Amino acid sequence: MIANLDLGSSNPMRLLLVEDDRDAAEYLRKAFKEAGHVADLAGDGEEGLALALDGKYDVMIVDRMLPQRDGLSLVSELRGRGHTTPVLILSALGQVDDRVQGLRAGGDDYLPKPYAFTELLARVEALSRRGAPQAAETVYKVADLELDRLSHSVTRGGKEIVLQPREFRLLEYLMRHAGQVVTRTMLLENVWDYHFDPQTNVIDVHVSRLRSKIDKGFEVPLIHTVRGAGYMVRAGVK
The residues binding another protein (CB under 8 A) are: 1-3, 94-97, 100, 114, 116, 166, 192, 194-202, 205-206, 209
**H helices present in the chain, as ranges:** 22-34, 45-54, 71-80, 96-104, 117-127, 165-176, 184-187, 202-214
Cβ proximity to another protein, 149 vs 209, nearer residue:
209
- Cα–Cα distance between 66 and 73 in angstroms, integer? 10
Cβ proximity to another protein, 84 vs 201, nearer residue:
201
- Cα–Cα distance between 44 and 134 in angstroms, integer? 33
- Cα–Cα distance between 177 and 127 in angstroms, integer? 10
Closest distance between another protein and the C-beta of residue 219, in Å?
Answer: 26
Closest distance between another protein and the C-beta of residue 202, in Å?
Answer: 5
Using CB atoms within 10 Å of the CB of residue 28, give its burial: 0 to 12 exposed, 13 to 18 middle, 19+ buried: buried
Cβ proximity to another protein, 11 vs 101, nearer residue:
101
Closest distance between another protein and the C-beta of residue 2, in Å?
Answer: 4
- Cα–Cα distance between 124 and 57 in angstroms, integer? 12
N residues, the chain: 238
Cβ proximity to another protein, 80 vs 114, nearer residue:
114
Cβ proximity to another protein, 122 vs 178, nearer residue:
122
**DSSP conformation class of 234:** -
- Cα–Cα distance between 45 and 97 in angstroms, integer? 22
Closest distance between another protein and the C-beta of residue 161, in Å?
Answer: 17
Closest distance between another protein and the C-beta of residue 190, in Å?
Answer: 13
